[in-house]
Chains A and B, each alone.
Chain A
């Protein structure tokens, strides 16, 4: 029932490049900037990417994002075991006058 649609799961082997998609509409992704969060079990979400490929201090440059129309993607290159986590896209939505999240994608490193 999330406003933004993400695949429930994704997987890859160490060293691989993985992408996670996020689909929305004109009132959110189509007109706003998307952000991405990482949540490992038992911890709070952590900001990963914001403002078009900006990363907070300490976040690896292996994480990058892109957007086209009403869809966005998070790319993780050089996959590492510690990347195993849940990933969420988020964006402001004018129709709700607040932020909306994707349902989350569970990334498994095989």
Chain B
């Protein structure tokens, strides 16, 4: 069965960085994009970025450009999300999710949905 297993909770100091992993199993890792989404306390879900595990191509939400780096290691079917310059506002639960994309003509995105999610990784940023 499809599973996404994330790394354990982290506590970090302001200004530092964190790297969260997401290990996929039960399917061909390179066949589906991996998206990263976070939920801060009292807030809704927020998309951060995605990676095409096949090509390594990435795309980041404008808010996170320059602070987030998403990578992958296809040999161990694992995606990573590194967030730098941490502040207390980055305290949140971070999720990876498998994305299913429906396109028209191979160019126009009609839909993307997330059919499997990791269990979440709690990041606490505190001095």
Task: Give me the interface of A with B, judged by CB distance under 8 Å.
Answer: 2, 32-33, 35, 37, 39, 44-47, 50-51, 56, 88, 90-92, 94, 96-104
B contacts with A: majority SS: strand
* The residue from B44, B112, B115 contacting A99, defined by CB atoms under 8 A apart: B112
Contact yes or no, B59 A50, CB < 8 A: no
Residues of A within 8 A of B111 (CB): 32-33, 35, 50-51, 91-92
Using CB atoms and an 8 Å cutoff, list the residues of chain B in contact with chain A: 35, 37, 39, 43-47, 49-50, 59, 61-62, 95, 97, 100, 102, 109-115, 117-120
**Known A-B contacts A44-B120, A50-B113, A92-B110; A98 and B44 likewise in contact (beta carbons under 8 Å):** no
Contact A33 B45, CB 8 Å, known A44-B95, A46-B117, A98-B61: no
A36 nearest CB across to chain B (Å)? 9
30 contacts between A and B (CB under 8 A): A32-B111, A33-B102, A35-B111, A35-B114, A37-B114, A39-B39, A39-B45, A45-B97, A45-B114, A47-B114, A47-B115, A50-B100, A50-B111, A51-B102, A51-B111, A88-B44, A88-B45, A90-B113, A92-B109, A96-B61, A97-B59, A98-B49, A98-B50, A98-B61, A99-B35, A99-B112, A100-B47, A101-B37, A101-B45, A104-B45
A70 to B120, CA, bound (A): 31
Write the nearest CB–CB distance from A30 to chain B, whole angstroms.
12
Are A96 and B62 in contact (CB-based, < 8 A)?
A: yes
